[in-house]
Amino acid sequence: MTHDLPDLGTIRGMTLATRASGTGYAARDDMLLCAFEADTVAAGTLTRSSTPAAPVRWTRERLAAGDAPRALVVNAGNANCFTGKRAFALVEGSVAALAGSFDIAPESVYVCSTGRIGEPIAEDAYMASLAELRDALAPPDFAAAARAIMTTDAWPKARAVELGSGARLVGITKGATMIAPNMATTLTFLFTDAAVDAASLQAALSPAVGASYNCVTVDNTTSTNDSLLCFATGKAGPVAPERLSDALHEVLGELSRELVEDGRRAGKVLAIRVSGATTTESARAIARAVANSLLVRLCLSERPPYTNAPFSAGRVMAAIGAAVQPVSADDIEIRLAGVPILSEGAVVNPMPEAALAAIDGNEIALDIDVAHGRAEGRIWTALVA
């Protein structure tokens, strides 16, 4: 996987600016401001955590109310979370400042934060940076935006595709740790100039998130600040709903896999595909159970496995059973790197050398057929070194 940023192009109907505020990182941009022209619409998915950060609470209200976005402010390096009343006071203060600066309603300002939890933000530096960002707004430089939202990322992450009718879709994301499928720990922002209403945008976005960000896990830890937002300015022509859906699946799929690739660092990426399930949700539940099995993860993390014994598909079978989903146990088939390691309910012993050798690679493919239906699902996880 290449880590070079592609040509991201531009999106009509918006401007952006980045700045080094010092509130999160020294000597690098750590704040982003986007401004949108009137009639822009928003869609999104946010963390399902019951202890969300103050920015999530504010932005969740904006999405629920259908508030048209005119500005988005993001800071990296500090989550603005679990600092008591100060956290929400900073959100309200930044919203009021931007609303006054743009002469817009406070409810038109969306807010996101990511970084250290439980540490108050340097409020004076943060608020001063808002004014600097407002004065620096320019045609969008999405590469700069991708870099500004990074935290522990090893590289900036962005993708762009043409939608047709003169419209374009650009996505940026960040994340390497605290990645778990409860919508996956990240800040992710999508921008398009396609003409689409908010309801249609949400209808296309939600399943794309379900098939991508909700299907990756690094450390099985859900964040307090998960935010994935999509903004459509409508300054280009309309696009076919299926084209918008395909593009969202493509961009989010590639970006979410980059989170796993970054999260593995010196470890491995494990791609789990479950077929023969009763529903896609059931397949994903099984794959997630396998991905989160500590025993499976340890056994696939090194060769020889930590037990100093050949890896056994029995450990995968145990994880499958722990998912408590409909399966035909005696007919399950498991392949590691395409090589059968369990067939008709029996572990292949000894484990084929070709399968065992796959453990040495940076990417491992584990395919499971539970022989109980026609649905399939996938989960990608990082086996961190």
Which residue numbers are catalytic?
185
Phi, psi of 325 (to 5 degrees): -120, 160
SS3 276: strand
Please state, in angstroms and rounded to a whole number, the distance separating the CA atoms of residues 375 and 323.
16
Residue 330 burial by CB count (10 A; 0-12/13-18/19+): exposed, middle or buried? exposed
Are 332 and 318 in contact by the 8 Å Cβ rule? The answer is: no
Are 287 and 378 in contact by the 8 Å Cβ rule? The answer is: yes
Q: Which run of H or E residues covers position 233?
A: none
Please state, in angstroms and rounded to a whole number, the distance separating the CA atoms of residues 19 and 247.
30
Cβ atoms < 10 Å from Cβ of 266 = 7
Six-digit token pair at 113? 């934060």
Longest dimension (CA), the chain: 71
Are 41 and 201 in contact by the 8 Å Cβ rule? The answer is: yes
Please state, in angstroms and rounded to a whole number, the distance separating the CA atoms of residues 216 and 298.
18
The one-letter amino acid at 53: A
